[in-house]
Structure 1
Amino acid sequence: MSSKTLFKKTTGLTEKPTHYCPGCTHGVIHRLVGEVLEEMDILEDTIGVASVGCSVLAYEYFNCDMTQAAHGRAPAVATGVKRALPDRFVFTYQGDGDLASIGMSEVIHAAARGEKITVIFVNNAIYGMTGGQMAPTTLIGQKTATSPYGRDESVQGFPIRVCEMLATLDGAAYIERVSLHDVPHIMKAKKAIRTAFETQKNRLGFSLIEVLATCPTNWGLSPQEALQWVKDQMMPVFPLGVYKNKNAGQE
């Protein structure tokens, strides 16, 4: 009787166990990126830039060359790497506290310049690593360690929609927002990540995939409840879809 392999680990990831909390979807995103790099056969030609945040140890998980950036500076580091080594695939892996707060100017100007890098932007609407503080993406009314009564737009303003903002820039070539709240959307997320790397391969400009992700620990929810919260609460504020696609000749 012959055996058939039904599941195997991607070579895009190392053997090191991740440090993420139960129910956190960082691990899912890692696997999708790893699978794409493996399937495109570009692992040996890829350099990733780890950010500061829950993903700070990403350089231990991706099975490609990696480097570390200071808080928020991953797009600047990636720009330097790509310009020095233009034949390499270069990506950053950043959370919303890293990218949308201290690093906002870095990502805006990288997109405006049309830097041929790919940004994986993980949006879980909160600061994860540092204890659950309010982030630039925190929803109106959402309770966090620094907004215990809920985010008040009259005091803290409104959540920032990164995809919509970056899509207005001429240097942006591919911008899409995806979610991981169920299997069909996970498969769509993988397709989007591949398209982003193909955009870089075709030298069309800057690409970013925003992934709506969970943070059960800081949200105070179970993993199952957190997935439902993404669907019910985050998606109405951060609609899924392609916001810019020069691959299809769209502006």
Structure 2
Amino acid sequence: MEAPVQTQIVYTRPTSLTDTPMHYCPGCTHGVAHRLIAEVMDEMEIREITIGVAPVGCSVFAYNYFNCDFVEAAHGRAPAMATGIKRVLPERMVFTYQGDGDLASIGMAEIMHAAGRGENISVFFLNNAIYGMTGGQMAPTTLPGQKTTSSPNGRDVEQAGFPLHMAELLAKMEGSSYVVRRSLHDPKNIRMAKKAIRTAFETQRRGMGFSLVELLSTCPTNWGMTPTDALVWLEEHMVPVYPLEDFKVAPELANLKF
């Protein structure tokens, strides 16, 4: 007689995520980013004091998926709303969750001034190099030569300029304490992304000012690829343009262990 099979649960839904089915396309890494943020909130035991700010874009319904207090901002205005919340309720942990169109286009002024003022908020910036929700148009982060619905022959830098490197720009602001870029294309980089998210929240908890984690993300639907091919494309094409680096890390954060 065969011995009974021993089972052990090693993977469960974080308390900081609801059980609402997500609307994201198959292969989109927004869901991965959501889970990482939720896991960190659970581990830090900050869910009940955290307020998130949702953007306009593919993640506009983020407030349905996170099991914490949430507000919805107008397009690009999440940093301004987060600033107001944090100043009125300084004991709360406040974060924004934004895409490249929301943060790097219509919200460019908001994010630059929030960093310049050193607002004590944490920003999680998903960069998939395209406008996802509105049909796959060229974004501020679209790669040179990348084809989109509004650049069918590829992004022409002579006409449209070069992509914006937001992490590098924001790291130059005196008010920023922690600015890094990570990716969500494989397990190793996902683990590194989670550590960066934790560090961003730790930066805020210590009252050290502005923090931002840029996360390279996939958009299989608008890239016209399978989810697997999109992961490969991200690694081969996006990472060389957007290097995965620490652009600014305050000395007090350099040796954090978790």
Question: Normalising TM by the smaller chain, what interval?
Answer: over 0.9
Q: Secondary structure of 2:11's match? A: coil
Conserved? CA contact 1:141–1:152, under 8 Å: yes
Q: Distance in 2 between matches of 1:249 and 1:135?
A: 32
Aligned to 2:233: 229
Counterpart selection for 2:103 from 95, 99, 102: 99
Matched, 1:195 2:183: no
Aligned to 2:140: 136
Matched, 1:108 2:119: no
Matched, 1:79 2:79: no
Q: Supply the AA of the counterpart residue of 1:170.
A: E
Q: Supply the AA of the counterpart residue of 1:160.
A: L
Q: Distance in 1 between matches of 2:97 and 2:84?
A: 16
Counterpart selection for 1:160 from 159, 164, 182: 164
Q: Distance in 2 between matches of 1:66 and 1:247?
A: 31
Conserved? CA contact 1:199–1:247, under 8 Å: no
Conserved? CA contact 1:174–1:247, under 8 Å: no
Give me the TM-score of the superposition, normalised by structure 1. Answer: 0.98
Q: What is the deviation of 1:12?
A: 1.1
Gap change, CA 1:249 and 1:66, over 3 Å in 2: closer
Q: Deviations over 1:177-220 (max 9, x none)?
A: 00011000000000000000000001101000000000000000
Q: Deviations over 1:131-163 (max 9, x none)?
A: 000000000000001001000010000000000
Q: Distance in 2 between matches of 1:66 and 1:90?
A: 9
Q: Give the RMSD, CA atoms, in angstroms.
A: 1.1
Matched, 1:15 2:19: yes
Q: Supply the AA of the counterpart residue of 1:108.
A: M
Aligned to 1:117: 121
Q: What is the deviation of 1:248?
A: 3.7
Q: What is the deviation of 1:171?
A: 0.1
Q: Supply the AA of the counterpart residue of 1:174.
A: Y
Q: What is the deviation of 1:246?
A: 1.1
Q: Distance in 2 between matches of 1:150 and 1:211?
A: 23
Q: Supply the AA of the counterpart residue of 2:133.
A: M
Gap change, CA 1:227 and 1:249, over 3 Å in 2: closer
Q: Secondary structure of 1:67's match? A: strand
Q: Secondary structure of 2:60's match? A: helix
Q: Distance in 1 between matches of 2:32 and 2:100?
A: 17
Aligned to 1:149: 153
Q: Percent identity?
A: 62
Aligned to 2:35: 31
Q: Supply the AA of the counterpart residue of 2:11.
A: F
List runs of 5+ in structure 2 lacking aligned partners: none
Q: Distance in 2 between matches of 1:114 and 1:6?
A: 39
Conserved? CA contact 2:203–2:253, under 8 Å: no
Q: What is the deviation of 1:247?
A: 4.4
Q: Secondary structure of 2:174's match? A: coil
Gap change, CA 1:203 and 1:137, over 3 Å in 2: same
Q: Distance in 2 between matches of 1:98 and 1:200?
A: 22
Counterpart selection for 1:58 from 52, 62, 66: 62
Q: Supply the AA of the counterpart residue of 2:114.
A: A
Q: What is the deviation of 1:4?
A: 2.4
Q: Deviations over 1:45-76 (max 9, x none)?
A: 00000000000000000010000000000000
Q: Supply the AA of the counterpart residue of 2:118.
A: G
**Count of paired positions:** 250
Q: Secondary structure of 1:203's match? A: coil
Q: Distance in 2 between matches of 1:249 and 1:99?
A: 25
Counterpart selection for 2:93 from 89, 93, 99: 89
Q: Secondary structure of 1:112's match? A: helix
